[in-house]
Amino acid sequence: MRHILCMKWGTKYGPEYVNRLYAMVRRHLKGEFNFVCLTDRSEGIRAEVQCLPIPELTLPNGEPERGWKKLTTFEADLHGLKGTALFLDLDVVIVDDITPFFEVPGEFLIIHDWKRPWRITGNSSVYRFELGAHADVLQQFRENQAQAKADFRNEQAFLTAVLHKQGKVRYWDASWCASYKYHCIPFWPSSYWREPFIPHGARILIFHGVMNPPDALEGRTNGNWRHAKPAPWIAQHWRE
């Protein structure tokens, strides 16, 4: 069984993010799949999405969340789900066929972070694994949370380090997951007159930092040091 997993907690992202993500997957994934949203708020989410509770992960009050909740996807028993799971962040934009993400061999696949490619760190906007296969990752974090947070800035750095040590990490084809910030916005100064574009070979556009798809659509940089013109073509992909 193939599962698409996403996670929504709090109010930062509305149900439209889940609904549009489902629609993009439906357009770009061949064959059948089960779409699961781990969430504390299911209001407004379309009926095709299976909404399940986010497994409990206690974080001390006042500490930055930094995505640590995503580690709960590695529960030994995630609501009884079985099979292969592809996790997608809510704010990605799918622009081409994602069927190959289920076809590449490997125990654990993740984006190789673009900013410091000499490091092993992955970007967990898109990762694939067998459900229940890496419960030791979550157990290790639960048993020594303070040390994990002292050693690693966020969940993706911790996750990659643990599985890399076990020799289980593989990275997606470098062209498949493109950073909107680094790969779609033209270099300065041409970014002032050239529209952002979809890089050759890209299947999923990743939004990290202060810009999300609605910002890209309107050309809002929100203080990002890269100036960007509006990208009206976002609307062709980021829709229900």
10-residue mean pLDDT profile of the chain (240 residues): values are 95 95 98 97 97 87 72 97 98 98 98 88 97 96 89 93 96 97 93 95 93 93 83 97
CATH number of the domain bearing residue 112: 3.90.550.10
Say yes or no: 152 and 65 in one domain.
yes
The pLDDT value given to residue 146: 86
SS3 202: coil
Say yes or no: 155 and 185 in one domain.
no
The pLDDT value given to residue 61: 56
**pTM reported for the whole predicted model:** 0.95
Say yes or no: 81 and 150 in one domain.
yes
Say yes or no: 164 and 218 in one domain.
no
Q: In what order do the strands lie in the sheet with 84-88?
A: 50-52, 34-39, 2-8, 84-88, 122-130, 108-112, 169-171
Say yes or no: 224 and 105 in one domain.
no
Domain span including residue 160 = 2-171
Number of domains in the chain: 2
Say yes or no: 155 and 182 in one domain.
no
At 10, give phi and psi (nearest 5°): 70, -155
